[in-house]
Amino acid sequence: MLESLEYGLVVAIASCLGRMPRGIARFLSGCIAFGVYRGFGRLRRVGMRNLELALPELPYKTRKRILRRVYVHLGWQLVEFCRMTRYTAENTRDWIRAEGLEHYLAAQARGKGVLVLTGHLGAWELSSFYHSLMGHPMGMLIRRLDNRRLDEYVNRIRCLHGNFVLSKDDFGRGLLTAIHAGRTVGMLIDTNMTPPRGEYRRRKDGGRYAHRDSHGRRRCARSQSLHQGDHPGRGAPGLGRGRFSARLGRSTAL
């Protein structure tokens, strides 16, 4: 019952935001973001602590202002996600542009699959979506939502133009399968496994990390082996040396 109510509320809000003019939708999403900022103290404290660790030289008020802007940005991200069902290659051409696409195409031409490592910042949902709009669908590493219906709803939007999702619960198998098939897979560089799914422990041989489950059993090889970057003879995936990014125009200011 709670799952259905949660699903209905989110879909109703998403439908409204998706139909509104962007300016009005951003204003309302900013109000929602401010409510979350004020109402969830634990999240706010975690954000402040992270900023303190990353930017200790900044005064408290500056870090607080940055955190408030992060919440506003997440509200804008929500608006863009709600509008993605309306986006096409034609109506996004004037405000989203690709830079360095030739590096991706060169890696793809090798036929060994492409692993895209990207930052968890900016319009990350829109960047993978735009990749598929350009005719280059890709797989995405995701954490499944607890609400099954919401999870299906969100992933259905992500995959409208050929993208596919890989759950982090079984990411290694899905990644290797996709790479061996010559496909593209993208992952956010801060993606990590957390208990109870597993934890990272320091190895005795060389001080590297191995991923182990909560019972201490080894679950996968060291993370470097997924890249295969040290073993070109094994047919490493196309880790291009160039940079590829999707830039948003001034009209969206994401």
DSSP string, 44-90: HHHHHHHHHHH-TTS-HHHHHHHHHHHHHHHHHHHHHHHHGGG--TT
Looking at this protein, which amino acid is placed at residue 49? R
Cβ–Cβ under 8 Å, residues 77 and 17: no
Q: How confident is the model at residue 191 (pLDDT cuts 50, 70, 90)?
A: low
Q: How confident is the model at residue 118 (pLDDT cuts 50, 70, 90)?
A: confident
Q: Is the predicted pLDDT of residue 103 greater than 80, yes or no? A: yes
Judged by DSSP in three states, 34 sits in helix
**Both 35 and 51 in a single domain?**
yes
**Both 170 and 58 in a single domain?**
no
**Both 100 and 31 in a single domain?**
no
**Both 229 and 104 in a single domain?**
yes
The token pair that represents 20 in the structure block: 């509104």
> What is the tens place of the pLDDT at every residue in 219-229?
433 332 223 23
Distant-in-sequence, close-in-space partners of 37: CB < 8 Å, separation ≥ 6:
44, 67, 68, 71
**Both 41 and 143 in a single domain?**
no
**Between 217 and 89, the higher pLDDT residue:** 89
Domain stop point among 42, 65, 86:
86
Mean pLDDT of all residues in 201-228 = 40
- Helix runs in the chain, H state only: 2-19, 22-39, 41-54, 60-83, 101-109, 124-133, 148-158, 171-180, 224-227
Of 135-144, 159-168, 202-211, the poorest mean pLDDT is in 202-211
- Domain span including residue 124: 91-254
What is the pTM for the complete model shown?
Answer: 0.71
**Both 77 and 121 in a single domain?**
no
